[in-house]
A and B are shown apart, each in its own frame.
Chain A
């Protein structure tokens, strides 16, 4: 209980005992309205991403001569200054953006888990060392580091992912480490150590499952970071300019002076998509918080609380 104040605000209170929390957790998520909305939105985008080549066959970035057409029945979202169909570009772009976002999210979280578990289990020396490395990376200015790495490594999706993971892992590592440490101090872990369980088993079968909700939170946050940071990099022209992605769409929109010519239809869709995906993930994150921390759940009857009784 006393550790609750010291944690990050979005961390849930300490997890329940070492039962399998997953079943009720998943059930809680599905019935939660916010999570539902978020998951539906995500599923829609993932479906669009997977079906893009079917829905919009051909190369969406093919340069033709029809320039900057307004939305019309042939082009629902109009065309860019280079004659590309904006709707096709937007849907195709979801592939790259989601791919990079998810990869960065999973990679950062995975590294964070390793760091967290290693710190928690191996204790003193390794913990200090890992914590030092984490803090050094946290101290490095993120965006400038991103800009440098992205500007000068060979362009390509691999570079973008690498760069984002390098700048993003420290945040998740810190959160996961402090959570792992607090679980480490629990009795059931001490019991497992004393009863001679192997290190790997302790880390992955005892500690990790109890961090499930915060791992999920971290994962979602890292994915959001991945998508947003990729868009920022690409807007500066530092991403992989040859791929079709939301950030690159915005980059080209800026270069072709979309807003200057009043071609808002080139500029708006990709931004809205990024916002929707980030928002959907945030909703799911929100819901995870609520499910694991019952106090955060929506109160159905707000009027009568203990507060008013005191008056």
Chain B
């Protein structure tokens, strides 16, 4: 009998106290990070902090020198925040490489759900925009794509752990 079955049986027989304990156990299992996960989460903090700093500096620089500098220079400055994101991706790929087979299954689950869910939401928004039912800010939508994928990826990992954990 696995944990989910146990939870169902306990809930049915009205053993609410131990149902709560089992549920808490599952939740703890979901949100318990292994030493490896913690190590890579810590490694991902510097690129994110650098991203915030570069993003702020880049936005202020472009705003200040918009009329003085050429388009090419402004474009390079505006794209500088992409570099720390590349650094973040490197940390993530190292983490993925260090995962064992079950952890990779969960990661792939997260990535699949992240990409598919965001793809579906963006398609829905695109359809609404295409049919002139809503007014969409394309720049803002493009900017929030990566955070949306990241959020859906975490959601996917929780679902993956629920099904295979």
A binds B: no
Residues of B within 8 A of A (CB): none
